[in-house]
Amino acid sequence: MSYERELLKGSTDSLLLRLISHQPMYGYQIIKELEKRSNGYFQFKEGTLYPALHRLERDGLTQGKWQKLPAGQERRYYYITQKGQQALTERVATWQGFSIAVDLIMQSSSG
């Protein structure tokens, strides 16, 4: 497994929680939004997004609900739960601490 894929695997849940914390979204919408917000950096293997979404739902971090679009088709929207919001807050704090520490080492010029 490549380093980039490993990093993405470890961050997928946080990325998904962050996106749906702004507004409830359905699977395809999430994929497009991730791609747009990362300037095309995050391109998921589309089918594998759904197991990740269902895992979050199983763990009680999100809740899926079928809803009708204005055009009449039904889509499964994912809502963040209170537990999910708490988990996201913790993950963001952990990520920020980790990112600062990695930057301090990676960008140090003294070697």
The minimum distance between CB 64 and another protein, in angstroms, equals: 8
Contact, 58 vs 65, CB < 8 A? no
Q: Is residue 79 within the footprint of another protein (CB under 8 A)?
A: no
Report CA dihedral (10, 13, 19, 24) to the nearest 10 degrees.
Answer: 170
Q: Is residue 103 within the footprint of another protein (CB under 8 A)?
A: no
Q: From 61, 48, 75, select the one nearest 21 (Cα to Cα).
A: 61
Q: Which stretch binds another protein (CB under 8 A): 10-18, 43-51, 85-93, 97-105?
A: 43-51
Binding residue for another protein, selected from 12, 26, 61, 62, defined by CB under 8 A: 26
Binding residue for another protein, selected from 47, 70, 72, 111, defined by CB under 8 A: 47
Q: Is residue 18 within the footprint of another protein (CB under 8 A)?
A: no
Q: Which stretch binds another protein (CB under 8 A): 4-12, 14-22, 50-58, 89-97?
A: 50-58
